[in-house]
């Protein structure tokens, strides 16, 4: 007898009882549990359930309650095709379809030899791109003499969904040769392997024209950023810009690439003296009678702070006694700039004298033995206008910054005394 085809969405038909078997009644408890056959011959419903007295009793199967239950199948039932149709009904065969490529980087044990070499070559650091100028830029619908462009650049590092994307300032009425005034665009690579796709790190530079409604892309260039990440010096290059969909163009752009490697180690800030603290366009009213008791606070990030001793009656030209402030730089906080702030210690709240902000990466490539004193300018925000915040100079701070890279220490023992040979633990 041919198998019965089951139509999707239709409840399956109950199996027919064989010869010598009675009609069994099953109760389906839920979809995940098998049906349980109840032996009515062994259960007296009138005794257990008086309210069921008078109802017709359905005889159970012969041979016990589980005698008629079929054994579980060892394999899925075969798929059945409808006559004259290619559609097959039944459970799917084979492995499920793939879910698609994962956008996350591969773990080290799954990388190829080439991917491992690239990962070992990459280092943590900051890639800086100086935007200088572009030449022969125009839209397709304009000639060279009638080009009116409000140009800006968009730079993207990486080729994945959440790749960092940075936009420069718009240069109004820049024409066919826009000048970007050396504007800097930076990318911090805290984990360079995350940017690798197809054994490369793609850097995309796009030139756009700012319009009232929709901005127009005037050209782009794609390149590998890996060659910049290992360069020891800045690289200045002219790169061709092509229109979207075209293979060649006369447009080009000048950029300068520089990479600063991030290291782990100790940063030593040596404080020498302050000069003209509180001076500027107007005298700051600090403390009682204008006397200063300054000290210096150095911070890296929002939660890592250290301070120097207070110089009582130090005045506007205090000497900090070449006090050293040691701060640890790890593989995470190197992206934060260092902030040196001079405060005036007062009876109540401490008063701000001025502060200076500077990056740590330039000091990581300088030999500590060649580090020199620097005179940095202290500033405070005076007022905020539509043109930005106006800064007021409030003196200078003389200091030195040294970076001591972490590493391994090797020791050679040249001489020793009172050495003993031990035969067992504890002697």
Predicted confidence band of residue 3 (pLDDT cuts 50, 70, 90) = low
* Band (235; pLDDT cuts 50, 70, 90): very high
* The two structure tokens encoding residue 178: 């826009």
The answer to whether 257 and 230 have CB atoms below 8 angstroms apart is no
From the DSSP assignment, how many helices (H) and strands (E) are in the chain? Answer: 3, 20
Please give the pLDDT value at position 181.
Answer: 95
At residue 265 the predicted structure's pLDDT band, cuts being 50, 70 and 90, is very high
CB 426 within 8 A of CB 385: no
Domain boundaries, the chain: 113-261, 265-405
Bin 116: left if φ > 0, else alpha if -120 < ψ < 50, else beta.
alpha
Task: Look at 36-50, 98-112, 133-147, 149-163 and tell me which has the smallest mean pLDDT.
Answer: 36-50
**Residue the block writes with tokens 């796709």:** 197
What is the widest separation between alpha-carbon atoms in the chain?
115
pLDDT at 419: 81
pLDDT at 381 (0 to 100): 82
Residue 340's H or E segment, with its range, is strand 338-344
Q: What's the pTM?
A: 0.65
How many Cα neighbours within 13 Å face the side chain of 258? Answer: 12
What Å distances lie between residue 294 and 249, 275, 287, 395, CA to CA?
61, 12, 11, 12
Instruction: Give residue 102's pLDDT.
Output: 46
Quick check: 187 pLDDT over 80? Answer: yes
Q: Residue 108's pLDDT is what?
A: 58
Q: What is the mean pLDDT of residues 113-135?
A: 84
Of residues 410 and 259, the one with the higher pLDDT is: 259
Is the pLDDT score of 424 beyond 90? no
Q: Per CATH, the architecture of 265-405 is what?
A: Sandwich (2.60)
Query: In sequence order, which ranges of 174-225 are alpha helices (DSSP H)?
Result: none
Domain 113-261: homologous superfamily in CATH: C2 domain (2.60.40.150)
Q: How far is CA 58 from CA 24, 38, 70, 296, in A?
A: 8, 10, 20, 95
Interval 64-94: pLDDT, tens: 444 444 555 555 555 555 555 554 455 555 5
DSSP letter assigned to residue 315: T
Say if residue 239's pLDDT is above 90.
Answer: yes
CA distance linking residue 190 with residue 262, whole number of Å:
9
- Alpha carbons 196 and 112: distance in angstroms, whole number: 13
Query: Given this model, what pLDDT does residue 299 score?
Result: 97
Residue 194 has pLDDT above 60, yes or no: yes
Topology agreement, domain 113-261 and domain 265-405: yes
Cα 311 to Cα 397: distance, rounded to the nearest angstrom: 14
Residue located via tokens 């009682």:
288
Question: What is the reported pLDDT for 42?
Answer: 45
Q: For residue 212, is pLDDT > 60?
A: yes
pLDDT > 70: percent of the chain: 64
Average pLDDT over residues 323-348: 93
Average pLDDT, the chain: 78
Residue 297 and residue 169 in contact, taking contact as beta carbons nearer than 8 Å: no
For position 75, what pLDDT does the model report?
A: 54
* Size of the chain, expressed as the number of residues it contains: 427
Average pLDDT estimate for 49-56: 49
């Amino acid at each position: 007898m041919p198998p019965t085809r089951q139509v999707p969405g239709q409840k399956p038909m109950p199996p027919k009882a064989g010869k010598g078997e009675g009609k069994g009644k099953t109760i389906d408890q839920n979809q995940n549990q098998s049906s349980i056959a109840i032996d009515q011959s062994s259960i007296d419903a009138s005794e257990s359930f008086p309210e069921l007295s008078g109802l017709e009793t359905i005889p159970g199967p012969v041979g016990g309650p589980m005698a008629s239950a079929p054994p579980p199948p060892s394999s899925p039932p075969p798929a059945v095709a409808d006559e004259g149709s290619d559609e097959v009904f039944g459970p799917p065969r084979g492995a499920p379809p793939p879910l698609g490529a994962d956008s996350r980087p591969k773990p080290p044990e799954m990388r190829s030899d080439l991917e491992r070499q690239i990962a070992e070559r990459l280092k943590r650091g900051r890639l800086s791109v100086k935007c200088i100028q572009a030449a022969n830029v125009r839209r397709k619908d304009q000639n060279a003499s009638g080009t009116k462009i409000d140009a800006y650049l968009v730079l993207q590092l990486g080729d994945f969904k959440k790749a960092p994307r940075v936009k420069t300032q718009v240069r109004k009425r820049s024409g066919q040769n826009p000048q970007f005034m050396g504007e800097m665009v930076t990318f911090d690579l805290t984990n360079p392997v995350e940017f690798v796709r197809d054994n490369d790190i793609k850097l995309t530079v796009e030139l756009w024209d700012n319009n009232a409604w929709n901005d127009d892309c005037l050209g782009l260039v794609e390149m590998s950023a890996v060659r910049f990440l290992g360069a020891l010096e800045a690289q200045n290059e002219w790169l061709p810009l092509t229109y979207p969909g075209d293979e060649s163009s006369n447009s080009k752009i000048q950029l300068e690439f520089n990479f600063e490697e991030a290291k782990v180690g100790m940063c030593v800030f040596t404080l020498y003296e302050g000069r003209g603290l509180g001076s500027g366009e107007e005298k700051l009213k600090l403390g009682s009678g204008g006397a200063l008791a300054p000290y210096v606070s150095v911070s890296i990030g929002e939660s890592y702070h250290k301070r120097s001793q207070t110089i009582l009656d130090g005045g506007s030209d205090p000497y900090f006694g070449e006090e050293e402030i040691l701060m640890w730089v790890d593989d995470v906080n190197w992206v934060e700039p260092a902030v040196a702030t001079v405060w005036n210690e007062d009876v109540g709240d401490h008063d701000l004298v001025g502060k200076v902000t500077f990056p740590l990466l330039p000091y990581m490539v300088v030999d500590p033995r060649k580090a020199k004193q620097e005179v940095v300018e202290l500033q405070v925000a005076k007022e905020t206008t539509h043109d930005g915040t106006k800064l007021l100079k409030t003196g200078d701070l003389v200091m030195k910054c040294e970076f001591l890279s972490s590493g391994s220490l090797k020791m050679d023992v040249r001489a020793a005394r009172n050495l003993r040979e031990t035969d067992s633990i504890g002697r």
